[in-house]
Amino acid sequence: MPPSRRHPALVITWLTTKYEEFDITMSQQYNNLLFLLKKHFPRILLFATQRVQSLLHFDIAEEELDLAQNNWRGVLALSPHGRRSEGVDLPADAVVLAGVPYLPPYARVEKVGLTRDDVAMITTIQNIGRALRSPDANPLIVLADQRYDKFTSTFSEYFDLREVNDLQELDKAIKDWKSQFMHKQQQEEEKSVFDSD
pLDDT, tens digit, 9 for 90 and up, residues 46-61: 999 999 999 999 998 8
| Per-residue pLDDT, 120 | 94
pLDDT band at 1 (very low <50, low <70, confident <90, very high): very low
Q: In sequence order, what are the residues at sequence separation of 6 or more whose Cβ sits closer than 8 angstroms to the Cβ of residue 45?
A: 76, 78, 90, 92, 94, 95, 96, 130, 131, 139
Closest by Cα among 141, 185, 164, 186 to 46: 141
pLDDT tens digits, one per residue of 96-131 = 999 999 988 888 888 888 999 999 999 999 999 988
Interaxial angle between packed helices 167-196 and 24-40, expressed in degrees from 0 to 180 and rounded to the nearest 10:
30
Instruction: Assign 152 a pLDDT band (cuts: 50, 70, 90).
Output: very high
Phi/psi of residue 101, nearest 5 degrees:
-80, 70
Give CA–CA dist 55/57, Å, rounded: 7
Mean pLDDT of all residues belonging to the chain: 87
What distance in Å separates the CA atoms of residue 79 and residue 46, rounded to the nearest whole number? 8
CB 21 within 8 A of CB 156: no
Q: How many CB atoms lie within 10 A of CB 183?
A: 10
Q: What is the mean pLDDT of residues 134-157?
A: 92
| 63 touches 80 (CB < 8 A) | no
The DSSP bridge pattern shows strands 74-78 and 43-47 to be: parallel
- Window from 25-39, 75-89, 169-183 with minimum mean pLDDT: 75-89
Q: What is the distance between the alpha carbons of residues 99 and 56, in angstroms, rounded to a whole number?
A: 12
Could you read off the pLDDT of 14-72 as tens digits, one per residue? 999 999 999 999 999 999 999 999 999 999 999 999 999 999 999 988 878 776 667 78
